[in-house]
Structure 1
Amino acid sequence: MRNKGISVLLCAGLMTGTVMVSGPSAAAADDFRERLESIPGMTVTSVEDDKGHPLYKLTYAQPVDHGHPEAGTFTQRLTLWHKATDKPTVLFTSGYGLNYDTNTLTDILDANQVSVEHRYFKESRPTGAAKDDWSKLTVQQEAADEHRITRALRAVEKGKWIGLGASKGGQTATFHERYYPDDLDGVVAVVAPNDANNKDDSAYERFFKTVGTRACRDALGAVQREMLVRRDALLPTFEADAKAEGYSFEKGLGTADRAYEYAVLELVWGFWQSHTEADCATVPDAKKATDDELYAWSMKYGMYVEHDDDAEGNPYNRQAATQLGWADLKFKHLDDLLRYPGLRQPNSLLPAALRADHDGRTVADVDRWVRTEGERMMFIYAGNDPWSSERFTPSAHDSYRYVAPGANHTAAIEKLPPAQLAEAVTTVKRWADVK
């Protein structure tokens, strides 16, 4: 599984600078900063005013291996958007790099927000010899990272804490709750895939047989097939675009031809992940479209170019290969055109040194725990999102699941129908002790 729509979910840009305030508020800000800096391992790297409140950029020293803390540490990045110590705090993780924006749920709860960068993503990586030891990139290690952050910052943020994440971040929030159920007062996981049995992809197959209209599905399948029929004509354009972007394929997929086939396999998935049924009207007639028209539409509406230097891709694909799982789709309508059967799986994208066998026991255990023991958990899915095909099923312990009809992978709590939205907001406010 790879979040191809990550640019939609993450807010780019770094915050730097210093808050300039005076009077009593300056004294309060200085006191709060001192309290943050008194936490062992915590460093305030900068602070800036963001919508009238300080946004603290922080780093935190974490063990590379929580089972052996003596083996060394790495620096994990996080931010804290602070309103007041007695307000609730939303602990947000994208599951990837660091997010600098505040979430709608944070606004709903009038809350503080802590945002965490996942270990081994962007700048939150070990240095030295440990940098290349990817065995410590696990669900359990990241859950332990967030456990330590939560316990440390609860010393200064005294209100209720709500975990929040979308896509892989929703998985990450769920994993945190599984291993440290006493940390948080509730969890909201949005479009969080649940590949409890990596060998069973029937839910994905059903999705692609039923999503949208028959006419739209047929048109998309025809475009996907035609992109392979015209491979020899379109591959030079693909190679030229890759060169212009500085993409290489030698370490992972190996050749531009393999990268092209992989991108075509992603086309229909990418369309439904990032677009809606209204965009079916844009799908060209595969037989009548020129090469340029076919290629341009496909690159805009579904194809994603996997390449060697994708800073988000390598750690994600390592996790998918080892623990998270992936959708191994059949592509029967393309069988006679594929040169590399079995290509669409995460090890295809990784350098040889990072490839590893899959162990599904962790996700299967989390799935069982959520269904039977999880408390105060809310899962929000999207009706037309392929990642929402395999879903967590919440327990009967003050836990809930909602679906936003017709929504794609950018679904969020505010996209629920009015009655469900009101119910969901009432529940989360109760968890957060907000009137």
Structure 2
Amino acid sequence: MNPRAPALRSVGTAARPGTWAAIIVLGCGLAAAVTGCGDDGGPGTPEPEPRELVDLLREVDGVLSVEEGMAPATGYRRFDITFEQPVDHGDPDGARFAQGLTLMHRDAQAPMVLASTGYDNYLGGRLSEPAQIVAGNQIVVEHRFFGQSRPQPVDWAYLDIEQAAADHHRIAQAFASLYPAGWVSTGASKGGMTAIFHRRFYPDDVDATVAYVAPISFGVDDPRYHVFFDQLDVGSDCPERVRAFQREVLNNAEAVTAVLAQRVEGRTFDRIGGLERAVETAVVEFEWTFWQYLGLDACSTIPALPAEPATLADFLNLSGLVWVTSDAEAAALEPYYYQSFTELGYPSVPVDHLQDLLVFDYATDLLRFMPAGEIPTYDPAPMQDVADWFAGESERIVLVYGALDPWTAGALEIGAGADARDVHLMVAPSENHGANIASLDPADGEQVMDELRSWLEPFGPLPARMHAPALDLPRSLSDRVERMREQRLLRPTSRL
């Protein structure tokens, strides 16, 4: 829970000594930057000049730079911030790096949403669903080692969940006095996992967490995910048609590869071992990707078989499934592969129905994406520790999953006494890896609103009517896929 909590907070620890004095002074200063802050010194007392918000932000401990940009949301101001972090939080006087943040400021007294991306800063100025629901401020955190937040020189030993949690802890502490209302952490997919990891190590930094489609894997090639495919029943022959499509592409691999070779537009595939290997990897991952992101809406668009190579290539690469293994994209995702092979784990992918047609070794293909010179050693302890903590000690967390998302087979176990701990697992019917509060059954959505209200109201007023924003999915399948790619939710198979 939040160390900024007022005395009326019924659950939690007392505020840190000195916190409230800082909140009174800085809170007034920040409010002044937006609306002005009066002086009650009596008649004739000159009103102090309001301080600029950008100046207050630059004074935050750890802030290296602040640049105001265009805010896409009405009523908000956007600030792109670089924040200094230790490469190793166990050695705060050692090497440092600059971590990228984006602040969307609405009101100093509104709730703050701490949004973890798990990757680079793909959200930028876009508001997360929780920020829209509570009409709150938002800080987006680019994950260490991704995007512009990579230490130089790179020492991969410092890319782990505990170091990343400590990054988020320092950010929450640094901005707490400027934003004294309730704090909610959030994230989707790997971002949701990152938010959970932060709570594991620093449970009192925020008052609540909403984590979307956040799985936990126990090992490399985790077999638990096969349950999804073994039990998949959508009331049609769609699953069988997906597998038939995979086999058709493999039977025509040479021709399909030739079609895609005409479309590479400068992309190279040296790392994976050539375009032929990239195509086969995409075919292996296609079934998972289909259900993760395309789903029921796409069943009617599966090409009738047999089909021309160009038609097969179009559908196989609808989500960019081949291009994601190109050298440029693989380099950008090196941190993800490192984490997957050392701590996060990844799922086993069904291949039995393809085995007689495969030329390459899929498991070896994945290892090709590791950073050069790094030989991974998987440590099962961190994920087991998180799972144990979550099932027994976690508090005030909402998990949202999609019923038709393969990753849901790796959902966190909420454990005994979850209701008493205010921990809830919600599943959106017929939804996949894009599941959110708006896609829940109405009763479940209202329950989430009630929980957020009960957790945040002690810190200040909330919108009179809280509701999830309406689903805004593009009409066409290709447009929907492009939206997901823009939001970095699209990660085939072992890439969340």
From the superposition, tell whether residues 301 and 52 of structure 1 become closer, same or farther in structure 2 (CA, over 3 Å): closer
Q: Residues 230 and 23 (structure 1 numbering): CA distance in 2 closer, same or farther, change over 3 Å?
A: closer
Go from structure 1 to structure 2 and tell me whether the alpha carbon gap of 1:46 and 1:28 turns closer, same or farther (over 3 Å shift): farther
2:184 matched to which residue of 1?
Answer: 162
SS of 1:181's equivalent in the other structure is coil
Cα distance in 1, alignment partners of residues 178 and 134 from structure 2: 18
* Residues 1:109 and 2:134 aligned together: yes
Q: Given the superposition, is the C-alpha separation of residues 334 and 425 from structure 1 closer, same or farther in structure 2, using an over 3 Å criterion?
A: same
Residues 93/344 of structure 1: CA separation in 2 closer, same or farther (3 Å cut): farther
* Cα distance change on mapping 1:339 and 1:209 into 2, 3 Å: farther
Aligned to 2:68: 47
1:328-348 CA distance string (max 9 Å, x none): 224111111111234377423
Displacement of 1:254 in angstroms is 2.0
For residues 198 and 119 of structure 1, what CA distance do their matches in structure 2 show? 22
CA contact (8 A) 1:318 1:347 kept: no
Do residues 257 (structure 1) and 279 (structure 2) align? no
Change (3 A) 1:345 1:212: farther
* Contact 2:295–2:432 under 8 Å retained in 1: yes
Distance 1:346 1:137 in 2: 19
* TM superposition score normalised by structure 2: 0.78
Alignment counterpart, residue 37 of structure 1, candidates 47, 51, 58: 58
After superposition, give the CA deviation of every residue in 1:293-333 in whole Å (9 maximum; x if it has no partner).
Answer: 12212211583431221154211111111111111224111
Mapped pair 1:77 → 2:96: no
Q: What are the Cα deviations for residues 379-430 of structure 1, in whole angstroms up to 9, with x where unaligned?
A: 0000111122210122411110000011121111111111100001110121
Which runs of 5 or more structure 2 residues have no equivalent in the other structure?
A: 1-32, 38-47, 463-496
In structure 2, relative to structure 1, the CA distance for the partners of 1:152 and 1:263 (3 Å cut) is same
What is residue 366 of structure 1 aligned with on the other side?
Answer: 386
- Please tell me whether the aligned partners of residues 54 and 66 of structure 2 are also in contact (alpha carbons under 8 angstroms): no
Mapped contact 1:326–1:346 kept (Cα < 8 A): no
Q: Aligned with 2:118: secondary structure?
A: coil
Alignment of 1:96-245 (within 5 A): 96-98=119-121, 99-100=123-124, 101-127=126-152, 130-131=153-154, 133-198=155-220, 200-207=222-229, 209-242=231-264, 244=265
Indicate the SS of the match to 1:90. Answer: strand
How many residue pairs get aligned? The number is: 408
Q: Secondary structure at the match of 2:318?
A: helix
Bigger drift between 201-210 and 231-240 goes to: 201-210
Identity of aligned residues (%): 33
Residues 159 and 279 of structure 1: CA distance in aligned 2, closer, same or farther (over 3 Å): same
- Contact 1:383 1:406 survives alignment (8 Å): yes
Asked if 1:279 is matched to 2:302, the reply is: no
Contact 1:204 1:390 in 2 (8 A): no
Asked if structure 2 preserves the Cα contact closer than 8 Å seen for 1:164 and 1:187, the reply is yes
Unaligned runs of 5+ in 1: 1-21
Spell out, residue by residue over 1:351-377, the C-alpha distance to the aligned partner (whole angstroms, 9 max, x if none): 442441221211111011101110111
Which residue identity lines up with residue 415 of structure 1 in the other structure? Answer: S
What are the Cα deviations for residues 116-162 of structure 1, in whole angstroms up to 9, with x where unaligned? Answer: 100111101112xx23x222111111101000000000021101110
Alpha-carbon contact 1:91-1:161 (below 8 Å) kept: yes
Q: Is the 8 A contact 1:81 1:114 kept in 2?
A: yes
**How much is the aligned-residue C-alpha RMSD, in angstroms?**
2.3
Bigger radius of gyration among the two: 2
Give the direction of change, closer, same or farther, for the CA distance of 1:301–1:221 in structure 2 (3 Å limit).
farther
Residue identity matched to 2:339: Q
Q: Distance in 2 between matches of 1:140 and 1:275?
A: 33
Please identify which structure carries the higher helix content: 1
- Judge conservation of contact 1:47–1:55 (CA < 8 Å) in 2: yes
| Change beyond 3 A, Cα 1:199–1:28 | farther
Matched residue of 2:211: which SS?
A: strand
Residues 208 and 169 of structure 1, relative CA distance in 2, 3 Å threshold: farther
The aligned residue for residue 117 of structure 2 is 94
Distance 1:28 1:224 in 2: 67
TM-score by length of 1: 0.88
8 Å contact kept, 2:82–2:98: yes
Q: Is residue 2:447 matched to residue 1:423?
A: yes
Is 1:300–2:318 an aligned residue pair?
Answer: yes
| Cα distance in 2 between the residues matched to 1:122 and 1:363 | 25
- How far is the alpha carbon of 1:292 from its aligned partner? 1.5
Q: Deviations over 1:46-73 (max 9, x none)?
A: 1135222211111100001111222210
How far apart are residue 240 of structure 1 and its match? Answer: 3.1
